[in-house]
Structure 1
Amino acid sequence: MSGYEKRQTVVSFENVSFQYPGAKGSSVKDINLDIKSGEFVVLTGGSGCGKTTITRIINGLAEKFYEGTLTGKTSLLGCPISDYPVYEIGKLVGSIFQDPRSQFFASITEDEVAFGCENYGVPFEELETRVAEAVRGINGEMLLGKEIYPMSSGEKQKIAVASVSAVNPKIYVFDEPSANLDMFSVEALKGLMGKLKEEGHTVLVAEHRLYYLTDLADRFLYMENGRLEKEWSSEELLQLPEQERKTIGIRIADLHKIETAIPEKAEQSEILFVCALSFAYRRKPVFENLSFKAYSGDLIAVIGHNGVGKTTLANILCGIKKEKSGKVLYCGREVSWKRRRNFAYFVTQNTDSQLFGDSVAEELKLNRKNAEDGQIEELLRLYGLYEWCDFHPATLSGGQKQRLTLAVSDWIDTPVLILDEPTSGLDFQNMRRISDHLKSLAEKGKTILIITHDFEFAAMTCNRALYFSDKSHVEDFSLQGNLDKLYSCLMAQ
């Protein structure tokens, strides 16, 4: 960075540690970090390493909302962070969360974009200008006047960025911003971040997916067990030996270097036959005359842009929704929509909607009444969750919740398993853990459909792809030797 040493330090940590209420230890430990004005910094590392906590310290939520214990010296624009009231931090630090729905207060686009400015008493004449500029900044004119909640994840992410940029903070903090986005939307997010950097804003991103940030980041900081352990420039990260990358457990920085050796699966017994399936919401077709087959042992990537009907298909296959027309056959027999839950289990993208227990262990007991402690321990260790067995599911990270719902699906054990974005919020080690486990289930004959936008995960896991190219056409192709095609389909919009 030009004139780096002369730039103002906007965020400073000196021997900073933080512990959440009731936690056995500190989430971050002895952090020393200076972030300069206009710098673009990426925090990465395994789930639970402390990335999100760093962002919460900077935006004031760690102490003010989570009521944890903060030690050491922390400053924002030269003043101790603890001296700022939360509303004042909000003017200086704009936060975009992993799930933007959690930060929305209005139902219509322009109302949400204006909300922060209204709270800070921005005059009406200036407010209109700020909202218009923020919407133009995300190329979101087509979103004006529309309800937010039916929008795609990418559109919601855009609105979250616009609502923050209307306040015009000096610092932007992103927490896992790509977790719920398709690859096309990730590229759009990259463009928005690049614009913020060009305008001179300081940007901090806590992220597992790194490939889209190598053109933007000035520094990549690797965290482990609450500590800052390594630092790379983009060039150094891209040159990191593959074995070292896998050992420390970070996602690949160059998608062109992905290696896969997925064998062709011989067609075994037909488990699922979707025949001329159609569905519509309020007379608006979602898909029409959809047909495909799946066999025992298949690991199928279900791909296509947001809103094309992938999740709707999953809901039909497991009996949550009823098709408009067509048939669903399991093992050669047509099955009514109400009985499909006996054949297919759906792990949804919204994990909170599938977790009901008072603890992680209790969640498993709810789904197997006579489970022994040894069985519970074995399953939780398989998914890397045993040390959280007594924690309430609501206190887990997004990636941990994702793994818990997958553990539950193991015990429900239907012939067909459907997963919706199972790698959102997952680091490399846990992504590989899930991939290996799904492969082992497929080897035992389970048929697995995976709705995903994650090129890296699909390439290392699946043997086939079903590409929803439009409302009436699904292209079925093998992934053996077809990674370029998979990439093109995931990037299509």
Structure 2
Amino acid sequence: MENFKTRRSVIQFEDVSFEYPGAETESIHHIDLDVKEGEFLVLTGGSGCGKTTLTRLINGLAEQFYEGTLKGRVTLLGRSISEYPLYEIGKKVGSIFQDPRSQFFASITEDEIAFGCENYGVPYEELDGRVSNAIKRINGDMLRGKEIYPMSSGEKQKIAVASVNAVDPEIYVFDEPSANLDMYSVEALKNLMRELKEEGHTIIVAEHRLYYLTGLADRFLYMENGSIKAEWTPEELLSMPEAKRKDIGIRAADLRHIEVDIPSRKEKDVTLEVKGLAFSYRKHPVFHDISFQAYAGDLIAIIGHNGIGKTTLSNILCGMQKEKAGQILYSGKDVSKGRRKNFAYFVMQNTDCQLFGDSVEEELLLNGKGSTQEQRDDLLKMYGLFEWKERHPAILSGGQKQRLTLAVSDWIDTPILILDEPTSGLDYKNMVRISEHLKALAQKGKTILIITHDYEFAAMTCNRVLHFIDEGHAETFPLQGSLPRLYSCLMCQ
């Protein structure tokens, strides 16, 4: 690891604590941290450990947007962060959030990428060059001229990265940047981060997935309960014994060394059959002639590159969209669009669309009428949400919202459960928790389809794969004995 001690400090935390309005405890406390010019720093740890709060203190949002209480001193480029107006911080610190929709201002790709540059007065003659270069860096030529709203989450993440890159800040802050990306796009993100590092930019990444960062990071900081508990070099992280890694609760640093036991399952009753399915969006074909079968007890990983139609397939299966052609049969019977919700329930990637209660417990009450207090408490404990039962869903973290929507799906209890990126924003321990629960549901005969780009999760959870090769072809294969094939499919998307 390069020695950064002689370089100038660009970010400093001196005995820093921070508390959000209305919170009962501090999110972080007594943090001391010195980030040097050109350093690549990774923050990791379980959900709620404080890593996102650290990033919000660096980009000014913690104080000026969330209006929390800061103790201690945060210094940005030699000046107290509290002295900067927010717009000035934005020019020096580019932020890419986990949910990119929260930072969009325009509806078309080029307009969004140009937006920040225009606000900071970039000369018009430079603008086209900056936009084109930013699109090239994300391998996003296919996104030119397109509306952002209908894009997949991964495509939106690419636009967010490009819009920040066009402004060219000195410091980049990424919050879970890989959460919604396929592995091919993660590789592209990795290459972009490498270029930024080589150009001398300082980079801070808050992340659960670590495998793509071991060749880039100078330091990994492990956080727990609002404090920095450990610091590792990439070499120390890669050499960490598996038992220790799992006990600490962090994701694998090397996906090639994952050890899982995939049980063989006999094909029993066909619960779902899809025949020659086709769908178009505004006369643009999404997919055509997609056919497959799913059996009781199946855990099927649905994979394919961003935008190929995996979420659209799920919307059709649960009756939220109408196919252009083809048949969908549940237990051998052709089921109309309006009746499919009785057979299949879809847990969306955008969890905010499915949360309506004023508290976590009320969310269960809305969907589990007739349940007892004990049943609700047991379910919340199983999903690690019991201590949050009286909190409003809006203030939960992304991972906590994901677990709440999964808890709701338990009440609804359709024979087929469809999940869209269920590990987005989840730490290792909660990923294992969800995996074990889904396997238990499958043992009881539920059919579970999981849209995922997460190799680690798919390997430990699923028994079969549905691979969208292109818009006209999909293949299925058993996962037992085929982990290298799964890895190859995910990496080649």
Deviations 1:308-358 (CA, angstroms, capped at 9, x unpaired): 221111111111112222221111222112111111101111111000001
Tell me, yes or no, if the aligned pair for 1:28 and 1:226 is still in contact at 8 Å. Answer: yes
The equivalent of 1:154 in structure 2 is 154
Deviation larger for 58-67 or 108-117: 108-117
Give the drift of 1:119.
1.8
Secondary structure of the structure 2 residue equivalent to 1:4: coil
Residue 474 of structure 1 pairs with residue 474 of structure 2: yes
Give the drift of 1:452.
0.7
Segments of 5+ residues of structure 1 without an aligned counterpart are none
The equivalent of 1:483 in structure 2 is 483
Give the drift of 1:285.
2.5
Aligned AA for 2:259? E
The equivalent of 1:454 in structure 2 is 454
1:93–1:273 Cα change, 3 Å: same
The equivalent of 1:315 in structure 2 is 315
Aligned AA for 2:235? E
Residue 297 of structure 1 pairs with residue 297 of structure 2: yes
The equivalent of 1:9 in structure 2 is 9
Segments of 5+ residues of structure 2 without an aligned counterpart are none
Aligned AA for 1:398? G
Secondary structure of the structure 1 residue equivalent to 2:264: coil
Give the drift of 1:128.
4.2
Deviation larger for 282-291 or 255-264: 282-291
Give the drift of 1:102.
1.0
Aligned AA for 2:170? K
Give the drift of 1:84.
1.0
Deviations 1:144-172 (CA, angstroms, capped at 9, x unpaired): 33322233333322322222222221110
The equivalent of 1:376 in structure 2 is 376
Tell me, yes or no, if the aligned pair for 2:157 and 2:180 is still in contact at 8 Å. Answer: no
Aligned AA for 1:216? L
Residue 417 of structure 1 pairs with residue 417 of structure 2: yes
Secondary structure of the structure 1 residue equivalent to 2:173: strand
The equivalent of 1:351 in structure 2 is 351
The equivalent of 1:92 in structure 2 is 92
The equivalent of 1:247 in structure 2 is 247
The equivalent of 1:404 in structure 2 is 404
Q: Tell me, in whole angstroms, the C-alpha distance in 1 between the residues paired with 2:137 and 2:453.
A: 25
Secondary structure of the structure 2 residue equivalent to 1:280: strand
Give the drift of 1:179.
0.4
1:307–1:475 Cα change, 3 Å: same
1:129–1:308 Cα change, 3 Å: closer
Deviations 1:354-398 (CA, angstroms, capped at 9, x unpaired): 000011111000002222221111110000011111111111111
The equivalent of 1:328 in structure 2 is 328
Q: Tell me, in whole angstroms, the C-alpha distance in 2 between the residues paired with 1:144 and 1:424.
A: 26
Deviations 1:280-306 (CA, angstroms, capped at 9, x unpaired): 223333222222111111111111112
Secondary structure of the structure 2 residue equivalent to 1:213: coil
Scaled by the length of structure 2, the TM-score of the pair is 0.97
Give the drift of 1:88.
1.3
Give the drift of 1:424.
0.5
Deviation larger for 364-373 or 274-283: 274-283
Residue 226 of structure 1 pairs with residue 193 of structure 2: no
The equivalent of 2:109 in structure 1 is 109
Secondary structure of the structure 1 residue equivalent to 2:370: coil
Q: Tell me, in whole angstroms, the C-alpha distance in 1 between the residues paired with 2:419 and 2:38.
A: 40
1:112–1:287 Cα change, 3 Å: closer
Secondary structure of the structure 2 residue equivalent to 1:349: coil
Tell me, yes or no, if the aligned pair for 1:359 and 1:389 is still in contact at 8 Å. Answer: yes
Give the drift of 1:112.
1.7
1:3–1:47 Cα change, 3 Å: closer
Give the drift of 1:65.
0.4
Q: Tell me, in whole angstroms, the C-alpha distance in 2 between the residues paired with 1:207 and 1:384.
A: 20
1:277–1:110 Cα change, 3 Å: closer
Aligned AA for 1:293? Q
Aligned AA for 1:131? V
Q: What is the aligned-residue identity percentage?
A: 71
Which residues of 2 match residues 36-435 of structure 1 at below 5 A? 36-435=36-435
Q: Tell me, in whole angstroms, the C-alpha distance in 2 between the residues paired with 1:310 and 1:166.
A: 30
Deviation larger for 399-408 or 120-129: 120-129
1:432–1:374 Cα change, 3 Å: same
1:469–1:426 Cα change, 3 Å: same
Aligned AA for 1:165? N
Aligned AA for 1:458? A
Deviations 1:76-131 (CA, angstroms, capped at 9, x unpaired): 11111111111111111110101112101112222222222222233333444443
Deviations 1:172-223 (CA, angstroms, capped at 9, x unpaired): 0000000011111111111111111010000000000000000100000000
The equivalent of 2:444 in structure 1 is 444
Tell me, yes or no, if the aligned pair for 2:2 and 2:218 is still in contact at 8 Å. Answer: no
Tell me, yes or no, if the aligned pair for 1:300 and 1:450 is still in contact at 8 Å. Answer: yes
Q: Tell me, in whole angstroms, the C-alpha distance in 1 between the residues paired with 2:17 and 2:134.
A: 36
Tell me, yes or no, if the aligned pair for 1:272 and 1:294 is still in contact at 8 Å. Answer: yes
Secondary structure of the structure 1 residue equivalent to 2:212: helix
Give the drift of 1:70.
0.6
Q: Tell me, in whole angstroms, the C-alpha distance in 2 between the residues paired with 1:96 and 1:250.
A: 22
Q: Tell me, in whole angstroms, the C-alpha distance in 1 between the residues paired with 2:335 and 2:66.
A: 48
Runs of 4+ with >4 A deviation: none
Secondary structure of the structure 2 residue equivalent to 1:307: coil
Scaled by the length of structure 1, the TM-score of the pair is 0.97
The total of aligned residue pairs comes to 493
Secondary structure of the structure 1 residue equivalent to 2:163: helix
Deviation larger for 49-58 or 118-127: 118-127
Q: Tell me, in whole angstroms, the C-alpha distance in 1 between the residues paired with 2:19 and 2:199.
A: 35
Deviation larger for 146-155 or 386-395: 146-155
Secondary structure of the structure 2 residue equivalent to 1:410: helix
Q: Tell me, in whole angstroms, the C-alpha distance in 1 between the residues paired with 2:388 and 2:200.
A: 41
1:450–1:132 Cα change, 3 Å: closer
Q: Tell me, in whole angstroms, the C-alpha distance in 1 between the residues paired with 2:417 and 2:104.
A: 33
